[in-house]
A and B are shown apart, each in its own frame.
Chain A
Amino acid sequence: MAPIARLLLLALLSTALTISSGSGDGYTINGRVKIPQGLGTKGFALPGKTSNVKVILNGGQIVTYLRPDGYFSFQNIPAGTHLIEVAAIGYFFSPVRVDVSARNPGKVQAALTENRRGLSELVLEPLRDEQYYEIREPFSIMSVVKSPMGLMVGFMLVVVFLMPKLVENMDPEEMRRAQEEMRNQGVPSLASLLPGGGRN
């Protein structure tokens, strides 16, 4: 028992050692979850609160929690390739592929599966924090103007105030010509469309 405990302590002291051979048939994976201070302060998860962070091996085979300093360990792990996931509300963690090799114990082989980045030591940091709520935008005139009702009002204002102005600004000559044209063409009415309607 004592060597394991010592190994564990050793692992606690130096983060470089992530995999150590334990007693019996398995190995031990030690690692650390680091949640940077400052990130997520505007979220609801208290910054640095680690008591509810779960570390999950192979999709739920083993679940463990973090020590106050962020360290975790999985005991009695057979050699092979494993997947570690971190479940923390408010943060997005990439799953990590960890290779436990039987031939050279102690060798670290870990990589983030999301971006295939290798890890020299098993320190897991969130890729980003997760904001679950939309942020209500503060009241602004633009948002009212942009709303359907605002647009309707705007359109009406344009028609009511700007159109007469446009008409007024037209050259009187041109105006008369346009009116003449309109009269000649006539208003397309149902009567004119009917056969024979054009003759009257």
Chain B
Amino acid sequence: MAIMSFIFVFFFFSSLQPILSLYEDQVGLMDWHQQYIGKVKQAVFHTHKTGRKRVVASTEQNIIATLDLRSGEIFWRHVLGPNDVVDGIDIALGKYVITLSSGGSILRAWNLPDGQMVWESSLHGPKHSKSLLLTTNLIIEKDNSLIVFSNGRLNAVSCIDGEVLWKKDFEEESLEVQQVIQPPGSDFIYVVGFAASSQFETYKINAKNGELLKHESTAFSGRFSGEVSLVSSETVAALDSTGSILLTISFHNGKISSQQTPVSNLLEDSPGLAVIIHSSVTGIFAIKTDAATIFIRVIGEGKLEVVEKTNHETVVSDALTISEGQQAFALVQHAGSNIHLTVKPAHDWDSNLLKESIKMDQQRGFVHKVFINNYIRTDRSHGFRALIVMEDHSLLLLQQGAIVWSREDGLASIIDVTTSELPVEKAGVSVAKVELNLFEWLKGHVLKLKGTLMLATPEDIAAIQYMRLKSSEKSKMTRDHNGFRKLLIALTRAGKLFALHTGDGRIVWSHLLQSLHKSESCRQPIGLNLHQWQVPHHHALDENPSVLVVGRCGPSSDALGVLSLVDSYTGKEFSSLRLVHSVAQVIPLPYTDSTEQRLHLLIDADKHAHLYPKTPEAIDIFQSEFSNVYWYSVDDDNGIIKGYALKTKCSGNVADEFCFDSRELWSIVLPSESEKIITTATRKLNEAVHTQAKLIADQDVMYKYISSNLLFVATVAPKASGEIGSVTPEESWLVVYLIDTVTGRVLHRMTHHGSQGPVQAVLSENWVVYHYFNLRAHRYEMSVIEIYDQSRADNKDVWKLVVGNHNLTSPVSSYSRAEVITKSQSYFFTHSLKAIAVTLTVKGITSKQLLIGTIGDQVLALDKRFLDPRRSVNPTQAEREEGIIPLTDSLPIIPQSYITHSLRVEGLQSIITVAAKLESTTLVFAHGLDLFFTHYAPSRTYDSLTEDFSYALLLITIVALVAAIFVTWILSQRKELQDRWR
């Protein structure tokens, strides 16, 4: 008996191990990680030296990265701060990457091979202005120097250590500097700009010491607009503000002379408003009108000639100097499903250095940018490679008429993610022969056994690792038992929808949405969110599941909405709608029609509700549930939270029977002088709660207050809504509310004095956890509020249950005024937070863990038991048995519980949890610039064998046992025989 109890105790302790971590050789087994850089803004090639050829790129997501020119892989990458926008990049001295950022106030140099920052220099100036970076080969005091114009000041900066060698202020209030030019081979610089929009100014400056050599200015009758285009080192082209007169201004030797040419002289038809395209090709500039792109050549003294007029989307690269005095540039044009890449010498429009036609995937949209680079072929002729940025933000390298590599950098800006099931494996349909024969299976397991017994040779280990990572099981295109294989459907900012396989992260399909495509009627389409439109379960298993993409035409909330329905298996957009109303909110209703299409209610800016799908069946279903639909809106700016219900059909237009008027049920107006809403959180709609009762130490029961209408709102003092450190603790406070969104009743309100945002919050079951900054302690804090239903507390009486005098079966309704009690506790937490989420399992039995995205772009799993308001310094024996952890002032950070292990999810934005079919496991997808996916079991995988389970050991044990049975049987028989003979 003692042994038995010992064994039990042992099992109990071995299962209580708190950390759920990973061995290093398990990396990549359940998880995948993808790195992106975002939409490239500027690219500079580095191909002169022998060795690895690279391209340095800066992106709209404030990243500087160097990529391998052969494969597109990232060598290194740095993510600058959110306000540190990159203005310009260049390569200096052949070994430093120079970046100018933050509106021209920070200049940094990075070591090209490894990305180490070499120096950092801050440039200030008298006023805000355009920032220009110019690398020269000028040598000032033995240093190679850079010329930077920013904040109204011209600086010469040493390349070696970032020291400012000289500076010159341009303080005239109205001066807008447009270009900084260094004519090749000279040691002076031209600074060209407009003053008061109508005066053209040139400054000639000595590049050695910043001395002003000459200043000229000429006034024009008209006004200038926008950019100027550099035609040669002493000539610029500009447009006047009406967009109808072209000016070519030359300032040879500081003497300004100009020519005015009406655009209509060059073109027969009136082109409408034109704009200059920024380019740097000598002798040629381009203007763009609504209908066409026009290339104009400057001949001699201000004479203009149209060389080409293209009607397609055309993109021009910057000029590239290919040999002494010879420049080339690239043009990319669309023709059907092909793109034409043309490289022309700058001096001769009619000849081509290169003309290639490349088949392009229609789903990538138009070309947005092109960068070219040349190389010398073996026959000493010039070869060209082009880096193109597409509409979907992807980056491609073209060389010799083919796509060498492509990067799907649209995935760096995901707006919303949803999941979809894969198709069911059908009998008769063979999904690739992946099943191995028995011998191979056994061989694999013997190898694994050798691995666990540490008997494996290095080759064996490599073989084992390969076998595990390449397991074709996990990347099949069919549904699995455990629900691990799914499609992650992601909507990106470029308006493209991607489906990623959870097994290995590959892109199954991608689709550039037509509804989110720029057009006449919809000039600035933006994607808002994704919803599961149709999830076939029982009735409509033949149908493919589909997702609903909601967007709107423009950034304001009253812009008209657009909808798309996309098949999740194929990525086909089978329906695309332009709405006649705006979309402020989308409410997926818990009702589906006979084809399992989910009913959705779209609330517009005027608080009308529109029902989708627009079918008579949907309206029938909806009519019966008409009075049960409630929703709320949060107005952050005015601090008003309002609750609504449906009233009647829309009064205005009679024809639309899918439109409903709403009535306001309640409103909470927060005093704007003392409170400003910064965060709200609600429960996930699909969250399952296993039990309402919670057993506590002394055989007592507490009932969780579980309502899907709970809203968490955090407000701060308006003064304290800024950055940390901008207010004193006395004038800042944080107030949190728990509000029932049906009745508008405030269930709980709590004030944290001396605290401020930003607040990250997550609401699940009957608790909310939020993270904020405590100014008094100058540390981050996390608080938990748990809310319990007191009105059910009497149900503990067994007799009442037996007699039937209980209210357990009474429906939970927001209108029954529940008596609630709340418990709360706060703890210190070390890091800043970027995101917070909670694990989600299919039935909600498994205990919960919080997933915390830290400022270091890692995801930390923290057991909810650490955030339990019932923790105390000295828990009683009974409480300890229940699993209550003694109270500590700060939450522990256990390195092994970082689910991202040694990886970073750069620019982390959000963490999404999806329940697998296996109760113990939740699927976690973290996205930002990078994507990271893993399986996570908050209480270990108690319901299935882990991947390391050794079948071979089990088999060997069984065989050994059977053998032992036989041996002992024979032995005992022999003994018996001997006994009988005796």
Residue contact A134 to B454, C-beta cutoff 8 Å = no
For residue B832, which residue of chain A has the nearest CB? Answer: A59
Which segment of A13-21, A66-74, A183-191 sits at the interface?
A66-74
For residue B155, which residue of chain A has the nearest CB? Answer: A1
Quick one: given A65-B117, A95-B779, A132-B896, are A114 and B122 in contact (CB under 8 Å)?
A: no
Residue contact B21 to A51, C-beta cutoff 8 Å = no
Interface size class of B (residues with CB under 8 A): 35 or more
Residue contact A67 to B832, C-beta cutoff 8 Å = no
Residue contact B164 to A131, C-beta cutoff 8 Å = no
With a CB–CB cut-off of 8 A, which chain A residues contact B895?
92, 130-132
For residue B153, which residue of chain A has the nearest CB? Answer: A1
Residue contact A139 to B454, C-beta cutoff 8 Å = yes
Residue contact B124 to A24, C-beta cutoff 8 Å = yes
The docked-state distance in angstroms from the alpha carbon of A71 to that of B773 is 27
The docked-state distance in angstroms from the alpha carbon of A77 to that of B21 is 40
A136 at the interface (CB under 8 A from B): yes
Which segment of B72-80, B353-361, B552-560, B785-793 sits at the interface?
B72-80
The docked-state distance in angstroms from the alpha carbon of A59 to that of B81 is 10
**Quick one: CB contact mask for A118-153 with B, threshold 8 Å, 1 for yes?**
000000000000111111101100000000110101
> A155 is contacted by which of B7, B11, B76, B834 (Cβ under 8 Å)?
B7
With a CB–CB cut-off of 8 A, which chain B residues contact A132?
21-22, 895-896, 898, 901-902
Residue contact B893 to A92, C-beta cutoff 8 Å = yes
Residue contact B3 to A155, C-beta cutoff 8 Å = yes
Residue contact B898 to A81, C-beta cutoff 8 Å = no
A58 at the interface (CB under 8 A from B): yes
Residue contact B164 to A51, C-beta cutoff 8 Å = no
The docked-state distance in angstroms from the alpha carbon of A95 to that of B106 is 24
Q: Separation in Å of the B929 CB from the closest CB of chain A?
A: 13
**Quick one: CB contact mask for B767-783 with A, threshold 8 Å, 1 for yes?**
00000010101111000
For residue A4, which residue of chain B has the nearest CB? Answer: B122
Residue contact A89 to B118, C-beta cutoff 8 Å = no
Residue contact B778 to A113, C-beta cutoff 8 Å = yes
Residue contact B724 to A59, C-beta cutoff 8 Å = yes
Quick one: given A44-B902, A95-B830, are A75 and B758 in contact (CB under 8 Å)?
A: no
Q: Separation in Å of the A54 CB from the closest CB of chain B?
A: 8
Q: Separation in Å of the B559 CB from the closest CB of chain A?
A: 30
A80 at the interface (CB under 8 A from B): yes
Residue contact B855 to A87, C-beta cutoff 8 Å = yes
> B452 is contacted by which of A65, A67, A139 (Cβ under 8 Å)?
A139
The docked-state distance in angstroms from the alpha carbon of A97 to that of B776 is 11
> A80 is contacted by which of B83, B726, B857, B896 (Cβ under 8 Å)?
B726
B876 at the interface (CB under 8 A from A): no
The docked-state distance in angstroms from the alpha carbon of A80 to that of B778 is 12
Q: Separation in Å of the B212 CB from the closest CB of chain A?
A: 17
Q: Separation in Å of the B956 CB from the closest CB of chain A?
A: 10
The docked-state distance in angstroms from the alpha carbon of A148 to that of B121 is 63
With a CB–CB cut-off of 8 A, which chain A residues contact B116?
50-51, 68
The docked-state distance in angstroms from the alpha carbon of A43 to that of B902 is 9
A107 at the interface (CB under 8 A from B): no
Interface size class of A (residues with CB under 8 A): 35 or more
Q: Separation in Å of the B114 CB from the closest CB of chain A?
A: 6
With a CB–CB cut-off of 8 A, which chain A residues contact B726?
78, 80
Quick one: given A67-B119, A81-B725, A155-B3, are A139 and B81 in contact (CB under 8 Å)?
A: no
The docked-state distance in angstroms from the alpha carbon of A139 to that of B122 is 57
> B114 is contacted by which of A43, A51, A81, A149 (Cβ under 8 Å)?
A51
Residue contact A62 to B117, C-beta cutoff 8 Å = no
With a CB–CB cut-off of 8 A, which chain A residues contact B83?
61-62
With a CB–CB cut-off of 8 A, which chain A residues contact B25?
136
A83 at the interface (CB under 8 A from B): yes
The docked-state distance in angstroms from the alpha carbon of A88 to that of B117 is 15
Residue contact A1 to B778, C-beta cutoff 8 Å = no
Interface core residue of B105, B106, B856, B890 (most chain A CB under 10 Å): B856
With a CB–CB cut-off of 8 A, which chain A residues contact B114?
51
The docked-state distance in angstroms from the alpha carbon of A46 to that of B375 is 36
> A59 is contacted by which of B23, B117, B777, B855 (Cβ under 8 Å)?
B855
Residue contact B164 to A149, C-beta cutoff 8 Å = no
With a CB–CB cut-off of 8 A, which chain A residues contact B19?
134
> B81 is contacted by which of A22, A45, A63 (Cβ under 8 Å)?
A63
With a CB–CB cut-off of 8 A, which chain B residues contact A24?
124
With a CB–CB cut-off of 8 A, which chain A residues contact B123?
1
The docked-state distance in angstroms from the alpha carbon of A133 to that of B82 is 31
The docked-state distance in angstroms from the alpha carbon of A67 to that of B78 is 14
> A51 is contacted by which of B117, B167, B777 (Cβ under 8 Å)?
B117
**Quick one: CB contact mask for A149-175 with B, threshold 8 Å, 1 for yes?**
101010100100000000000000000
Quick one: given A62-B83, A148-B11, are A83 and B724 in contact (CB under 8 Å)?
A: yes
The docked-state distance in angstroms from the alpha carbon of A127 to that of B122 is 31
Residue contact B164 to A2, C-beta cutoff 8 Å = yes
For residue A56, which residue of chain B has the nearest CB? Answer: B855
Q: Separation in Å of the A98 CB from the closest CB of chain B?
A: 9
A193 at the interface (CB under 8 A from B): no
Residue contact A75 to B106, C-beta cutoff 8 Å = yes
Q: Separation in Å of the B96 CB from the closest CB of chain A?
A: 12
For residue B123, which residue of chain A has the nearest CB? Answer: A1
B115 at the interface (CB under 8 A from A): yes
Residue contact A59 to B758, C-beta cutoff 8 Å = yes
Residue contact A60 to B725, C-beta cutoff 8 Å = no
Residue contact B80 to A58, C-beta cutoff 8 Å = no
The docked-state distance in angstroms from the alpha carbon of A155 to that of B779 is 53
Residue contact B901 to A58, C-beta cutoff 8 Å = no
Residue contact B78 to A81, C-beta cutoff 8 Å = no
Quick one: given A51-B115, A67-B118, A85-B832, are A158 and B3 in contact (CB under 8 Å)?
A: yes
Residue contact A65 to B78, C-beta cutoff 8 Å = yes
> B725 is contacted by which of A45, A58, A89, A138 (Cβ under 8 Å)?
A58
Residue contact B120 to A73, C-beta cutoff 8 Å = yes
For residue A72, which residue of chain B has the nearest CB? Answer: B120
Residue contact A89 to B119, C-beta cutoff 8 Å = no
Interface core residue of A59, A68, A78 (most chain B CB under 10 Å): A59
With a CB–CB cut-off of 8 A, which chain B residues contact A31?
none
For residue B854, which residue of chain A has the nearest CB? Answer: A87
Quick one: given A85-B855, A155-B7, are A61 and B723 in contact (CB under 8 Å)?
A: yes
With a CB–CB cut-off of 8 A, which chain A residues contact B23?
133-136
Residue contact A64 to B120, C-beta cutoff 8 Å = yes
A179 at the interface (CB under 8 A from B): no
Q: Separation in Å of the B145 CB from the closest CB of chain A?
A: 14
A5 at the interface (CB under 8 A from B): yes
Quick one: given A68-B118, A113-B778, A155-B3, are A1 and B758 in contact (CB under 8 Å)?
A: no
With a CB–CB cut-off of 8 A, which chain A residues contact B957?
149, 153
B831 at the interface (CB under 8 A from A): yes
Q: Separation in Å of the A17 CB from the closest CB of chain B?
A: 16
> A60 is contacted by which of B124, B779, B832 (Cβ under 8 Å)?
B832
**Quick one: CB contact mask for B86-121 with A, threshold 8 Å, 1 for yes?**
000000000000000000011010010011111111
With a CB–CB cut-off of 8 A, which chain B residues contact A2?
164
**Quick one: CB contact mask for B1-37 with A, threshold 8 Å, 1 for yes?**
0010001001100000001011111010000000000
Extra A-B contacts (12), CB below 8 Å, given A1-B164, A51-B114, A95-B779: A1-B155, A24-B124, A45-B902, A51-B76, A52-B115, A65-B108, A81-B724, A81-B725, A81-B775, A81-B778, A131-B896, A134-B22
A: residues with CB less than 8 A from B are 1-2, 4-5, 22-24, 28, 43-45, 50-52, 54, 56, 58-68, 73, 75-76, 78, 80-83, 85, 87-90, 92, 94-95, 97, 113-114, 130-136, 138-139, 148-149, 151, 153, 155, 158
> 21 A-B Cβ contacts within 8 A?
A5-B164, A23-B124, A51-B111, A54-B856, A59-B832, A65-B78, A65-B117, A67-B120, A75-B105, A75-B106, A78-B725, A80-B726, A83-B724, A94-B830, A95-B831, A113-B777, A131-B896, A132-B895, A132-B902, A133-B22, A149-B957
**Closest 3 interchain pairs by CB?**
A87-B856, A130-B895, A63-B81
